Amino acid sequence: MPLVPSHTLRPARSIYVAVCAAFLVSLALRPAAAADAATLTLYSAQHHQMVDQLTQSFTKETGIPVRVHSGEAPEIANQIAQEGARSPADVYFTENSPELTLLDEKGLLAKIDPTTLAQVPAKYSAADGKWVGVLARENVLAFNPAMIRENQLPASLMDLAKPTWKGKVAIAPSDADFLPLVQAVVALKGKAAAMDWLKGLKQNAQVFSDDEGVVAAVDRGAVATGIINNYYWARLRTEEGVDKLHSQIHHFANGDVGGLINVSGAAVLASSKNPEAAQRFVAYLVSKPVQTMLGKGDIDFEYPLAKGVAPNPLLKPFSELQPPQISMAQLGDDRQAAQLLRQAGLI
Amino acid sequence: MTEAVASGPASRQRASRRQPPAALLVLALIGPLIVLLPLAFTLFEAARVDGAEAVELLARPLVGELLVNTIGLVLAATVAAATIGTAAAWLVERTDLPGYRAWGVLAAVPLAVPPFVSSYAWVSLSPGLQDFAGAWLVVTCSYYPLVYLPVAAALRGLDPALEETARSLGCGGCACFRSVVLPQLRPALLGGMLLVALNVLVEFGAFALLRFRTFTTELYAEYRTGFDGPGASLLAAVLLLLCLACLFAEVKVRGGAGYARLGRGVRRRAARLKLGLTTLPALAGFAALAMTTLGVPLGMIAYWLTQHGAAAISPAEASVSLLIDATISSLWLGLSGAAVTVALALPLGFVAVRYQSRFVTLLERMAYLAQGVPGIVVALALISLTIRAAYPLYQTTPLLIAAYAIVFLPLALVSVRAALSQAQRGLEEAGRSLGLGWAAVAWRVLLPLIGPGLGAAAALVFVSIVTELTATLLLAPIGTQTLATQVWADTSTLAFAAAAPYAALMMALSLLSTWLLARRFAATRFVS
């Protein structure tokens, strides 16, 4: 178009004006991204619906705004480690204990207030008081009754590596929940047995990228059983409705390693520029009202760890579980587990 | 040479030899350089991995599985997209299919539905649609328009005389299509297929939601289990090489064979074939296609909007404000990203159109390389780079916008370049000769001429940013949620009802912008 009559340009100009106006309006309304001194920065590897609920009620109660950075547990832990003293994080709230142990080993965590620690049985927190247990999940085996009878289910997690289980089990080795399980097998059975177990799983298992994928696959009948944390099954049950659900869960008993309890904990970063608010947030997480809210609500399906708080009725009572005897220190950090998984060709 | 628009008619003869002014060249360099940055960094990091470790990491059985998964899906999706795209184009352009205009539009619209939104719809419709079958379905539905649009355009441009000659020589309908029409469609078809392959290679969100493991999802898994390890950079390098191979093949196909018409005079439109009894199956096919590509995604979003997700949503009163926050973040990022990307493309496009030289062509090709760099690779490289060497930029909005600029520079460059090559140089010179300074010429002559083209470029980049997931997910500053990241967060935790409002708003924005664009420009302009 060599020459354009001016009237054809008018619509274009009005579009520019509209776009510029939209730009300015959104600029004015833009949520403040920068942290001011009073804002608490939370690095979270917990489920975001629950974290949203917690941060909102915390802000309402205390007036302290919270900004959240979410990610997978080992990712965030390694991120904090790389950021080091420059990390903007004040609090790290995560799904499993090994990430917290890793940061503790690197000296990046501050001591938790003793009154906060006292809310929770000591065995679910760090021995040195650098992080506190908030919630717990049970490791279970989801199964599809149409594909496998209940009396055929394994007594031990270790059985799943036997050749008879070929093609009948699903796992999510890159999910943060799988690493502590590997670590527990190492702690209780030794490294060589753990390696054999993983190699057996490599032969037997269908691999998914996360526990949500595993439980969905079991439910739709793509695979007979799947190793998950109980949370995901309860979650699927609530989302799909009981009548549409095709799967059930099997609890490992008699202290079998498969019945591992994973502890979701929180820590205050040593580099926090806002330690008071950070301590307050962690104390808030284990306070009775919050723990009761989490236990009652249909958002989170974990066991509240504060003394005397009942869990969601959908879950098997905490006292009836028969988990293996293993301490948080024995679970250690995830590094050895990740290495073994790589050697076994699972990640 | 110190002035952009130098002198009189004598220099016009040698227009292609002139050197661009230094300042302009520096501005034009920024785009290609920031494109090269993540690419070079990833390859450098991969090369730094110790030899034995690299062999151990790359020879894992997992890498073999990923190669099989990724390449298998690329092949299957490309063939399916080619078949569907060509069939749809032929029916729309060459037959008396009732309502062919409307079907033609409907066949192009799925491009505005981001694959991770349609995978959200399919996964929430039936969890059975996962793994390979689901992934195949979703990417084919999302990307077949990349074949449909160029093939339809090529069919419109064919001279019917050749076919008529073939028919008159006794060639049957099918034989004629195979031996006369198809060879002429080859550049468009192959180019489209390679674009499909490239898009499947870099797709991340859809596969992650469908639990189908490819290089991109595994890169993300590596990142999740280790944040920034050597394994990730090696996988990224393999993926990068696959993408670049596709990109070079595409450039070769596009630059190669052309079927020019040499005859003079006006070309007739081809006669439309009477479908007769096959009308009904053809209509049913189009209806099924529209149902699968548009009906299911839009329908599922509408369905979940009406459902209360018991476990899904944060306290009800707060979700509205979350929705508003996410919308504003998406809009803001989209608009500033579009502004920055077009601003980077403009000097490069100007230099490319007005000062052709080998060096300038090289710059342009460097910018187009971005098409072969997956968003996840860009994001991971930028995270590593800033955390090590540019900490003040780490986790900031400018870094995210830089990532958008890298990923979408080629998209902007195509439109900007097209607009600039239509603006006649003589008009600027006339302005100069009448005593205007270069700034006044740019403002009063050039800008009105190229304005609509720049607007189109900005709108395309805007839509792409609003529906972008990977870079946003990895680079969004702390506390920033966009519509795309909210859909992702809810869907990946099976909270389908909670994801619906975000998905609905994002689709509305995407469809609205696409519609506005399509109204102003011919539909074929969408294909780069």
Q: What angle is formed at CA B252 by the lines to CA B246 and CA B256, rounded to 5 degrees?
A: 150
Specify the pairing of strand A205-207 against strand A40-44. unpaired
Are A176 and B224 a contacting pair at CB < 8 A? yes
Contact A278, A91 (CB under 8 A): yes
Q: In angstroms, how far apart are the furthest CA atoms of chain A?
A: 86
- From chain B, the residues in CB contact with A334 under 8 A are 225
Given CB atoms, is A67 within the 8 Å cutoff of chain B?
A: yes
Distance between B21 CA and the closest CA of chain A, angstroms: 26
Given CB atoms, is A244 within the 8 Å cutoff of chain B?
A: no
The rounded distance, in Å, linking the Cα atoms of A94 and A334 is 13
Residue A135 CA, chain-centre distance (Å), reads: 10
pLDDT (tens digit per residue) in A170-185: 999 988 899 999 999 9
What pLDDT sits at residue B9? 45
What pLDDT sits at residue B32? 93
* C-alpha distances in Å from residue B114, one per residue of B175, B205, B329, B379, B523: 37, 9, 18, 19, 18
Structure tokens at B161: 């005389």
Instruction: Single out the residue of B89, B77, B69, B67 nearest to residue B142, CA to CA.
Output: B77
Q: Provide the angle, in degrees to the nearest 10, between the axes of the packed helices B447-466 and B496-520.
A: 160
- From chain B, the residues in CB contact with A217 under 8 A are 127, 130, 211
pLDDT (tens digit per residue) in A96-124: 999 999 999 999 999 999 999 999 999 99
Contact A134, A93 (CB under 8 A): yes
pLDDT (tens digit per residue) in A139-157: 999 999 999 999 999 999 9
What pLDDT sits at residue B426? 84
For residue A3, give every residue at least 6 positions away whose Cβ sits within 8 Å of its Cβ, in sequence order, or none: B427
The rounded distance, in Å, linking the Cα atoms of B175 and B382 is 53
Average pLDDT over every residue of A78-97: 91
- B203 sits in the region (left: phi over 0; alpha: psi -120 to 50; else beta) called beta
Other C-beta atoms closer than 10 Å to the C-beta of B475 total 25
The SS3 call for residue A283 is: helix
What pLDDT sits at residue A1? 30
Instruction: Single out the residue of B239, B244, B230 nearest to residue B55, CA to CA.
Output: B230
Are B211 and A75 a contacting pair at CB < 8 A? no
User: Which of A26, A83, A299 is closest, CB to CB, to B332?
Assistant: A26
Distance between B489 CA and the closest CA of chain A, angstroms: 7
Distance between B369 CA and the closest CA of chain A, angstroms: 29
Structure tokens at B346: 């403009």
Other C-beta atoms closer than 10 Å to the C-beta of A328 total 20
Are B478 and A41 a contacting pair at CB < 8 A? yes
The rounded distance, in Å, linking the Cα atoms of A142 and A219 is 8
- CA torsion sign for B404, B222, B120, A300 is negative
pTM of the entire predicted model = 0.83
Distance between B278 CA and the closest CA of chain A, angstroms: 38
Other C-beta atoms closer than 10 Å to the C-beta of B306 total 8
- From chain B, the residues in CB contact with A53 under 8 A are 314-315
Instruction: Single out the residue of A95, A48, A99 nearest to residue A77, CA to CA.
Output: A99
The rounded distance, in Å, linking the Cα atoms of A261 and B524 is 58
Q: Give the burial string for B360-375 (b: 16+ CB within 10 Å, else e).
A: beebbebbbbbbbbbb
pLDDT (tens digit per residue) in B135-169: 999 999 999 999 999 899 888 878 888 888 888 88
Please report where in the chains the tokens 């292609």 appear, as a residue.
B16
Residue in chain A lying closest to B497 (CA) = A239
Structure tokens at A331: 């679970």
pLDDT (tens digit per residue) in A243-278: 888 999 999 999 999 999 999 999 999 999 999 999
Residue in chain A lying closest to B477 (CA) = A33
The rounded distance, in Å, linking the Cα atoms of B239 and B470 is 15
Instruction: Single out the residue of B77, B129, B122, B116 nearest to residue B205, CA to CA.
Output: B116
Q: What angle is formed at CA A230 by the lines to CA A225 and CA A232, rounded to 5 degrees?
A: 85
Residue in chain B lying closest to A237 (CA) = B311
A261: Cα within 13 Å, side-chain hemisphere: 27
ipTM of the complex: 0.75
- A308 sits in the region (left: phi over 0; alpha: psi -120 to 50; else beta) called left
Radius of gyration of chain B (CA): 24
Structural element, H or E, at residue B148 = helix B145-157
Given CB atoms, is A246 within the 8 Å cutoff of chain B?
A: no
Other C-beta atoms closer than 10 Å to the C-beta of B125 total 15
* C-alpha distances in Å from residue B90, one per residue of A77, B141, B165, B276, B471: 54, 18, 19, 15, 37
For residue A266, give every residue at least 6 positions away whose Cβ sits within 8 Å of its Cβ, in sequence order, or none: A91, A92, A93, A94, A131, A132, A134, A281, A282, A285
For residue B111, give every residue at least 6 positions away whose Cβ sits within 8 Å of its Cβ, in sequence order, or none: B142, B145, B146, B149, B514, B526
Contact B139, B73 (CB under 8 A): yes
Instruction: Single out the residue of B307, B295, B312, B322 nearest to residue B121, CA to CA.
Output: B295
What phi, psi does A261 have (nearest 5°)?
A: -95, 120
Contact B313, B319 (CB under 8 A): yes
Query: Which percentage of chain A shows pLDDT scores above 90?
Result: 60
Under DSSP, the state recorded for A8 is G
What pLDDT sits at residue A332? 85
Strand locations in chain A (E):
40-44, 66-70, 91-93, 109-110, 132-143, 169-171, 205-207, 225-229, 248-250, 261-269, 303-304
Are B451 and A12 a contacting pair at CB < 8 A? yes
Are B478 and A16 a contacting pair at CB < 8 A? no
Residue A14 CA, chain-centre distance (Å), reads: 49
- Please report which confidence band the pLDDT of residue A25 belongs to, taking 50, 70 and 90 as the band edges: low
* C-alpha distances in Å from residue A157, one per residue of A184, B184, B433: 11, 61, 85
Residues in chain A: 347
The rounded distance, in Å, linking the Cα atoms of A42 and B40 is 33
Under DSSP, the state recorded for B445 is I
- B512 sits in the region (left: phi over 0; alpha: psi -120 to 50; else beta) called alpha
The rounded distance, in Å, linking the Cα atoms of B460 and B452 is 12
Structure tokens at B295: 């009906």
The residue type found at A248 is: Q
Higher pLDDT, A63 or A6: A63
The rounded distance, in Å, linking the Cα atoms of B137 and B118 is 10
User: Which of B208, B477, B490 is closest, CB to CB, to A209?
Assistant: B208
Are B498 and A49 a contacting pair at CB < 8 A? yes
Distance between A254 CA and the closest CA of chain B, angstroms: 31
The SS3 call for residue A176 is: coil
What pLDDT sits at residue B196? 92
Residue in chain B lying closest to A20 (CA) = B335
* Window A:261-300, CB contacts with B under 8 Å: 298-299
What pLDDT sits at residue A170? 94
| Average pLDDT of chain A to the nearest whole number | 87
Distance between A316 CA and the closest CA of chain B, angstroms: 19
Contact A298, B311 (CB under 8 A): yes
**Mutation site for A-interface testing, chosen from B130, B227, B342 by largest number of A Cβ within 10 Å:** B227
Under DSSP, the state recorded for B435 is T
User: Which of A12, A22, A221 is closest, CB to CB, to B452?
Assistant: A12
| Residues of chain B under the 50 pLDDT cut | 1-16, 310-318, 522-528
Given CB atoms, is A75 within the 8 Å cutoff of chain B?
A: yes
Render B254-287 in DSSP notation, one character per residue.
HHS--------SPPPPPPPBP-GGGHHHHHHHHH
For residue B355, give every residue at least 6 positions away whose Cβ sits within 8 Å of its Cβ, in sequence order, or none: B16, B18, B19, B20
Residue in chain B lying closest to A31 (CA) = B325
- From chain A, the residues in CB contact with B130 under 8 A are 213, 216-217, 220, 222
The rounded distance, in Å, linking the Cα atoms of B355 and B426 is 15
User: Which of A26, A56, A346 is closest, CB to CB, to B335?
Assistant: A26
* Window A:4-43, CB contacts with B under 8 Å: 4, 9, 12-13, 15-16, 19, 22-23, 26-27, 29-31, 33, 35, 41
Where is average pLDDT lowest: A36-45, A89-98, B15-24? B15-24
Contact B495, B423 (CB under 8 A): no
Residue in chain A lying closest to B130 (CA) = A217
Q: Helices in B369-495 by DSSP H: which ranges?
A: 375-389, 397-422, 425-433, 438-441, 447-466, 470-475, 483-492
Q: How many CB pairs under 8 A join A and B?
A: 169
